[in-house]
Structure 1
Amino acid sequence: MKLLSLVACTAAFLSTGTLAYPITGTTVNCRSGPGTSYAVKKTYKKGDSVTISCQSEGPVVSGNSIWDKTTDGCYVADYYVKTGTNGYVKPKCGGTGGGGSSGKIPGPVTNDYPYKSQCGPADKWNYFKCQCTSFVAWRINERLGINFHNKYKGAAWGNANSWDEAARKTGVRVDNKPVPGCIAQSNAGSAGHVAWVTKVSGNTVTIEEYNYKNYRAYGTRTVPKSTFNYIHVKV
């Protein structure tokens, strides 16, 4: 994991004034898309400097799910680029990574959860279907376009009451300032609770959720903002 350090950050400015970052891996492939399934377009050597045009979510490499699109027009795993942080340093690339759809934040208020009639076994994000965590994991993937799962960025997200800790550990912002498309999170109860923020109005938030008052089922509530912490995976 890359740690932010004013001393260790060795990014340099090129003669054009563009910030460049050194490659840390011995031989690092730069691919046509954000993931190891894409074709290799070129290869960088350790010590080469790259400039980043934008960043995208993709398969996790040593705990880091960010992929950097270089100005060479290909993607390299951010783990191998010394940016000085394990978070974003550039805007997200448009139309790439994560498999979700754009323009859906926060999206319609509707029970479009794909497992609503298939409760029980684990989903593809390693959460139990029809639980609050599965519903929110699906919303993050579908509406934020982020490849979120139970081991996102190398941390164990686990039950809802550990999501705030996992978020802070991986550099995802947690605060008391909700916006549509962020995650409402509570440590109350034996396992906590997470929900999707769909509207913010004054001192209240409207959330969509699973398995709260409705057992293994969808529901909405409008509650005081102070009811939850807010996890900003993207917004």
Structure 2
Amino acid sequence: MKAAVFAALFQAVAVTVTYAYPISGDSVNCRSGPGTSYAVKKTYAKGSDVKVSCQTTGTDVNGNNLWDKTQDGCYVADFYVKTGTDRYVAPKCSTSGDGDGSGNGIPGPVTNDYPYEGSCGGVDPWNYYKCQCTSFVAWRINKRLGVKFHNQYKGVNWGNANTWDDAARRTGVTVNSKPVPGCVAQTNAGTYGHVAWVTAVGDNTVTVEEYNHSSREAYGKRTVPKGNFNYIHVKV
């Protein structure tokens, strides 16, 4: 009987150890979301063991954009967790569990989930032309932020991408040089300007998802210097 109890306890310990990994950095912050812009909820000392419940993508930290959700319900950069690899060692976090805890998936998975791919032309439900950068970002604002954004948001015409910053200011929406996952990257460069969805933020770089930039009416992703854009904070 004692042997059976001991065996059961041993198995339980073995399972715990399988998913627990040591912190490799000094005073590593565990944040409310998968990025350096989120609030610090807890700090781990070097050598502390953390149990990883799931993983997701976020701010790039020294070439690694994975973030681990710990048993404490907060996110720590995988770069500082000694898992033995920079790849997934736990299930991917569900969309509703990513980001700021709003349940809307901020910034959400990095994937081409735009509903009008291959069906370009005509006007979308937000009064933008399908497969343009403005349509893609308007859709992301609605889908990921849960904000009913459209071309006449808050009674102001937002128009082409090069007027989004002015429209934001006129409606009290913050525009600054500080990107966070889930905000809108905007530039006035070019004939019509450009907008994109911020999916990750590094020390001096920003990773965006976008439409109609590198390829006509097509999805793309790129990492560029932060200074390339203004940042419109519709919600985050």
- Secondary structure of 1:164's counterpart equals helix
The alignment status of 1:174 with 2:175, answered yes or no, reads yes
Aligned to 2:106: 105
Q: How far apart, in 2, do the equivalents of 1:214 and 1:207 lie?
A: 15
The alignment status of 1:150 with 2:151, answered yes or no, reads yes
Q: Percent identity at matched positions?
A: 72
Alignment-mate amino acid for residue 128 of structure 1: Y
Q: How far apart, in 2, do the equivalents of 1:221 and 1:168 lie?
A: 27
Query: Where in structure 1 do 4 or more consecutive aligned residues deviate above 3 Å?
Result: none
| 2:161/2:192 contact within 8 Å kept | yes
What CA deviation, in whole Å up to 9, does each residue of 1:186-216 have, x standing for no partner?
0000000000000001000000000001110
Q: How far apart, in 2, do the equivalents of 1:153 and 1:201 lie?
A: 32
Aligned to 1:214: 215
What CA deviation, in whole Å up to 9, does each residue of 1:19-45 have, x standing for no partner?
xxxxxxxxxxxxxxxxxxxxxxxxxxx
Aligned pairs for 1:56-135 (under 5 A) are: 102-135=103-136
Structure 1 unaligned residues grouped into runs of 5+: 1-100
Count how many residue pairs are aligned between Structure 1 and Structure 2: 136
- Secondary structure of 2:178's counterpart equals coil
Cα distance, 1:103–1:125 mapped onto 2, change above 3 Å: closer
Aligned pairs for 1:6-85 (under 5 A) are: none
How far 1:117 sits from its partner (Å)? 1.5
| Bigger-Rg structure (1/2) | 2
Q: Of Structure 1 and Structure 2, which has the larger fraction of its residues in helix?
A: 2
- Secondary structure of 1:136's counterpart equals helix
Q: How far apart, in 1, do the equivalents of 2:107 and 2:203 lie?
A: 17
Q: Give the root-mean-square deviation of aligned CA atoms.
A: 1.3
Q: How far apart, in 2, do the equivalents of 1:103 and 1:207 lie?
A: 18
Structure 2 unaligned residues grouped into runs of 5+: 1-101
How far 1:103 sits from its partner (Å)? 3.6
| 1:183/1:194 contact within 8 Å kept | yes
| 1:125/1:134 contact within 8 Å kept | yes
| 1:174/1:229 contact within 8 Å kept | yes
TM-score in terms of structure 2 length: 0.57
- Secondary structure of 1:168's counterpart equals helix
Alignment-mate amino acid for residue 192 of structure 1: G
Q: How far apart, in 2, do the equivalents of 1:160 and 1:149 lie?
A: 13
| 1:102/1:145 contact within 8 Å kept | no
| 2:106/2:182 contact within 8 Å kept | yes
What CA deviation, in whole Å up to 9, does each residue of 1:145-200 have, x standing for no partner?
00000000000100000000000000000000000000000000000000000000
- Secondary structure of 1:230's counterpart equals strand
Q: How far apart, in 1, do the equivalents of 2:198 and 2:176 lie?
A: 14
Q: How far apart, in 1, do the equivalents of 2:117 and 2:158 lie?
A: 22
Alignment-mate amino acid for residue 162 of structure 1: T
| 2:204/2:225 contact within 8 Å kept | yes
| 1:102/1:144 contact within 8 Å kept | no
TM-score in terms of structure 1 length: 0.57
